[in-house]
Structure 1
Amino acid sequence: MRAKTTLLALTCAAAFGGFAATAIRDVVQQPAGATPATVAAVPTMAALPAAVDGAPLPSLAPMLKTVTPSVVSVHAKQRVRVSPFGNDPFFRRMFPELDQERMNESLGSGVIVDAQQGYVLTNHHVIEGADDVSVTLSDGRTVEAEFIGSDVDTDVALMRIKADNLTAIPLAQDANLQVGDFVVAVGNPFGFGQTVTSGIISAVGRSNVPGVGFQNFIQTDASINPGNSGGALVNLRGQLVGINTASFNTRGSMAGNIGLGFAIPIGLARNVMMQLATTGSVQRGTLGIDTQTVDARIAQGLGLDTPRGAVITRVYGGSPAARAGLRTGDVVVAANGERIDNSESLRNFQGLQALDTPVTLDVLRDGRTVKIDTRLTALPRDGASVDARLAGAMFADLPEALRRQNQRAGGVLVEAVDAGSRAFQSGLREGDLILAANSGQFRDLAGFRDSLADRPSDLVLRISRRGRIADVIMR
């Protein structure tokens, strides 16, 4: 089951979209004079010529005629029950018949990426928690959408629609974007309908956006407005290079655009889409290590010239890292040629890779650089593979966006519990957050599994359930 998680982003507005297209007019006002001489009348504005030196003026119109039929508006509806007693639990239980059903609606955008299958890519946050989702095509038709799957940590969701004469946008094989490249965005800002805007690439590989999960964003100077989430970012060939996802404004999304917009690169979106289309969910691999950012104090202790990288503080038994020969005290400074400056960048790198991805790490060890080859492998998530007392439960790591809000946050999420199972009978429930255990310290699922490797005779879990802390004895 998918854990329903509300992603909080104080400064990151999840509403992506188009680049603001603003017509620029130069208004020339003549200053007042004494007694002007007689002059011929001059028009205040002249029409633009159709060509300059025999060459036609450039226009995006021909390319956009092929792109816009692929971009859709997404309408999500969620049924919620509202009580006249607010959130008071006593009166809500006493008078449930007074509850009223209300329909919350939200708007976003999407992109048709496979006309034959009817696949539509959008953002997870656009359809999160929705009971009904419909899609309005560029020709005005509205059709129901079938949810295929979504990945909260990359904010990618996949839907399927059934309609004739769909047009899919071509995907860029390798976006290979550079700062300064021109791009065009198409979306549905504020529900106005399809809107086309343009801008440039401001940066690539951004991974420091607050309140968002695993990140490798394309940054643009787009004018981003609510309702554009899930829209298309295309190059001048009309190929999809990114899925618009978020804008940044210290005053919130409704304050307007300040030229900081972010899009998911198509390579990442494609990898997530393939997993969702095949299994309906996304699995991620791990190296099986804990790390800490190398600061000046650690660098001095390790004899490093520069305080940079992620120092390994723990290697889990039986993990890919252990099999590859990684050791406590090794400092990871690059992964597959990508610079690793701190612990966060190494974690982000792992979260963006496909399962079983080969990884070559550049590691500082004993004053020299060595290369370590390994792979990212998935951890079993069923409780029985961890400890027999946890049979019937399924576990998952905390959503990355939630963890990023508090760097010290750690724990394991109980994703599902089979009714009547051993874990259920001991009191474990879906949605519980395991904060600690008497088996040892851990921050994630890999650490939780490792702490239980010796099978302690007694197992007590400290959990958080709806804001309350309790200890559960697993029998």
Structure 2
Amino acid sequence: MALPRDKPPPLGASAPGRPGASPGGRQAVSSGTGFVVAPRQIMTNHHVAEGCAAMTARLAGGQEIPATVIAADQQRDLALLRTESDPGPVLPFRRAAEVRRGESVVTYGFPLAGLLSSGPTLTTGDVSALAGLGDNARQIQISAPVQQGNSGGPLLDLRGHVVGVIVSKLNAQRIAQATGDIPQNVNFAVKHTEAVDFMREHGVQPQLEEGGAPRTAAEVGEIAHASTVFLRCLR
């Protein structure tokens, strides 16, 4: 039996409960995650920013600031946002292009906002495959659990370097209908090399690092915390 190979559902989340009105009278309709990639520059997914009349970013300290989309790439599913005030320290990308199967990775983001903790959530897992669904060469497959709202969050190695941007998870319901079995922990991230190329194409210089001592997942989370933001889409 052929498996469904449609695009996995994106991980942007609908706004929980009653959407709150912004000062401009707009309503929060969905949410996602972003992270600081350059001074006053935040990266997230295209599908998180798509169709938003305005966006806000809630910083680690709780401040909420406006964010404006300055570049988007639907094929890569990436977007860059600009803020007028400092959103936090820049998260470095891994300089080396290679990511290995079995490599341990950490996610950091805001899944299921309004249902789970209002603060960020950390999960751990491994790189499962070096391509996404249908051999999508722009993505990698990971076993770290992700949920709606994780979209646009950083995927980090154990040295605290970004190796991907969380984007989607396998449609477990459709796979179960086709095979009778529920797949577990089949999730996807845009490769860090794609994110770096996207930034450079739009005149933004990424911070690249290599080496460094291995850290615990908790230590990696502490690095990510100050640089990862909760995004709201307003319409």
Do these two structures clear the TM 0.5 threshold for a shared fold by scoring above it?
yes
2:93 is paired with a residue whose SS is coil
Out of 62, 65, 69, the position equivalent to 1:147 is: 69
Q: 1:166 and 1:103 mapped to 2: Cα distance?
A: 25
8 Å CA contact 1:225–1:257 kept in 2: the answer is: no
Q: CA deviation at 1:163?
A: 2.0
Q: 1:225 and 1:132 mapped to 2: Cα distance?
A: 23
Out of 20, 33, 46, the position equivalent to 1:109 is: 33
Q: Which residue in the other structure is 1:128 paired with? A: 50
- Cα distance change, pair 167–104 in 1 and its aligned pair in 2 (3 A): closer
- Cα distance change, pair 165–216 in 1 and its aligned pair in 2 (3 A): closer
Q: How many residues align?
A: 180
Q: Which residue in the other structure is 1:228 paired with? A: 150
- Is it true that 1:268 corresponds to 2:167 in the alignment? no
Q: 1:224 and 1:129 mapped to 2: Cα distance?
A: 23
Q: 1:176 and 1:261 mapped to 2: Cα distance?
A: 19
The equivalences for 1:44-193 within 5 A come to: 103=27, 105-115=29-39, 118-164=40-86, 166-191=88-113, 192-193=118-119
Q: Which amino acid letter does the alignment assign opposite residue 262 of structure 1? A: F
Q: Which residue in the other structure is 2:11 paired with? A: 15
Q: 2:199 and 2:183 mapped to 1: Cα distance?
A: 29
**For the aligned residues, what is the CA RMSD?**
2.8
Q: CA deviation at 1:227?
A: 0.4
Unmatched runs of 5 consecutive residues or more in structure 1: 1-8, 18-76, 80-100, 279-475
- Cα distance change, pair 185–111 in 1 and its aligned pair in 2 (3 A): same
Structure with larger RCO (C-alpha < 8 A, sep 6+)? 2
2:200 is paired with a residue whose SS is helix
Q: CA deviation at 1:276?
A: 2.9
Q: 2:28 and 2:87 mapped to 1: Cα distance?
A: 31
8 Å CA contact 2:12–2:48 kept in 1: the answer is: no
* Per-residue Cα deviation, 1:189-241 (whole angstroms, up to 9, x for no partner): 011331111111101133517xxxx6421110121200000000000000011
Q: 2:71 and 2:80 mapped to 1: Cα distance?
A: 6
* Per-residue Cα deviation, 1:445-469 (whole angstroms, up to 9, x for no partner): xxxxxxxxxxxxxxxxxxxxxxxxx
TM-score for the superposition, normalised by structure 1: 0.35
8 Å CA contact 1:158–1:276 kept in 2: the answer is: no
1:272 is paired with a residue whose SS is helix
2:172 is paired with a residue whose SS is coil
- Cα distance change, pair 260–130 in 1 and its aligned pair in 2 (3 A): same
Q: Which amino acid letter does the alignment assign opposite residue 10 of structure 2? A: A
- Cα distance change, pair 269–164 in 1 and its aligned pair in 2 (3 A): closer
1:12 is paired with a residue whose SS is coil
* Per-residue Cα deviation, 1:79-116 (whole angstroms, up to 9, x for no partner): 9xxxxxxxxxxxxxxxxxxxxx984510100010113x
Out of 116, 120, 127, the position equivalent to 1:194 is: 120
- Cα distance change, pair 244–154 in 1 and its aligned pair in 2 (3 A): same
Q: 2:7 and 2:190 mapped to 1: Cα distance?
A: 18
Q: CA deviation at 1:10?
A: 5.9
8 Å CA contact 2:165–2:192 kept in 1: the answer is: yes
* Per-residue Cα deviation, 1:56-93 (whole angstroms, up to 9, x for no partner): xxxxxxxxxxxxxxxxxxxxx9x9xxxxxxxxxxxxxx
8 Å CA contact 2:59–2:87 kept in 1: the answer is: no
More helix by share: 1
Q: Which amino acid letter does the alignment assign opposite residue 11 of structure 2? A: A
- Cα distance change, pair 11–119 in 1 and its aligned pair in 2 (3 A): closer
Q: 1:139 and 1:173 mapped to 2: Cα distance?
A: 29
Larger Rg: 1
1:267 is paired with a residue whose SS is helix
Q: CA deviation at 1:12?
A: 1.2
Q: 1:133 and 1:183 mapped to 2: Cα distance?
A: 29
8 Å CA contact 2:131–2:140 kept in 1: the answer is: yes
8 Å CA contact 1:109–1:227 kept in 2: the answer is: yes
* Per-residue Cα deviation, 1:107-151 (whole angstroms, up to 9, x for no partner): 100010113xx1111000001010010101111111100210101
Q: Which amino acid letter does the alignment assign opposite residue 199 of structure 2? A: M
Q: Which residue in the other structure is 1:237 paired with? A: 159
